Amino acid sequence: MSEELVMLEKEAPLALITINRPKALNALNSKVLKALSETLDRVNDDEEIRVVVITGAGEKAFVAGADIAEMSEMTPLEGANFSRLGQLVFKKVEELKKPVIAAVNGFALGGGSELALACDFIYASENAKFGLPEVTLGIMPGFGGTQRLPRLIGKGRAKELIFTGKMISAKEALEMGMVNRVVPQEQLMDAVKEVASGIAKNGPIAVSIAKGLVDVGYDLPLDDGCLMESKSFGVCASTEDKREGMKAFLEKRKPVFKGR
């Protein structure tokens, strides 16, 4: 595997981003976070890419957390800046114009769970392990975990995971609603590519707007979210894709969406 810390493989309409530091179980240091940020910019700007998958190199880890060696030397100000860097990069994942699927192929601990949580949804291999073990190191989650985990699985279960720092299996994460699907490790990429390819066949503008609406609307009162939804529904009605989608249905053929 190449020396790049973050690899990008384009299989249009899909893009596969791999965090590539397998000797350190793909731990996130500042360099990896910056490389991930640049890679996200590239896929966001590439109109041939409609769905993005994020995974970790090797068979053992997705990402085993933020880099403990780097953090051990940080001053309080450096620690705050590092946390903010991770948060901003993960926000970029969340706000990407296209869906991002986490393919969790092993340990997803601390910053690794937080990266997966910033993706739109998670598929995991049977050997995957999730957890927020930061308190066992005398710190707390710093890349959005205290905020995204309770929104996804509820406050009580999130607090239990954050306070105990315990690891959970992929099956437990599935039962909690943290993970959408669990498959044997050798089938993970096929399962992720299958769901990603299905999404990529749909109207890209509609998918992109729906993504933003679910995320933004989740924190709004229902009426405000519904108002945003109806305006966005109107925007979709103005697209060539809407005309093509409905025409194709009436002509009993598959639509060809151009993202216009």
The radius of gyration of the chain from alpha carbons, rounded to an integer in Å, stands at: 19
d(CA 105, CA 5): 17
Q: Between 24 and 183, name the residue whose CB sits nearer to ligand CAA.
A: 24
Which is the catalytic residue, given 38, 114, 126, 244?
114
* 89 touches 37 (CB < 8 A): yes
Give phi and psi for 36, each to the nearest 5: -65, -40
Q: How far apart are CB 89 and ligand CAA at their closest, in Å?
A: 11
Catalytic annotation present for 70: no
- The pair of three-digit structure tokens given for residue 28, joined into one six-digit string: 């996130």
Q: How far apart are CB 136 and ligand CAA at their closest, in Å?
A: 7
Q: How far apart are CB 67 and ligand CAA at their closest, in Å?
A: 4
Catalytic annotation present for 134: yes
Q: Between 15 and 149, name the residue whose CB sits nearer to ligand CAA.
A: 149
The site for ligand CAA (CB under 6 A) is made up of 24-25, 27, 64-69, 86, 107, 109-111, 114, 133-134, 137, 141-143, 145
Q: Any idea which residue has 């100000």 for tokens?
A: 77
Q: Between 152 and 236, name the residue whose CB sits nearer to ligand CAA.
A: 152
Q: Between 65 and 204, name the residue whose CB sits nearer to ligand CAA.
A: 65
Is cis: bond before 221, omega within 30 of 0? no
Which is the catalytic residue, given 73, 134, 172, 186?
134
Q: How far apart are CB 62 and ligand CAA at their closest, in Å?
A: 10
- The pair of three-digit structure tokens given for residue 16, joined into one six-digit string: 């596969």
Q: How far, CA to CA in Å, does 192 sit from each of 14, 15, 164, 189? A: 11, 12, 31, 5
Q: Which residues are identified as catalytic?
A: 114, 134
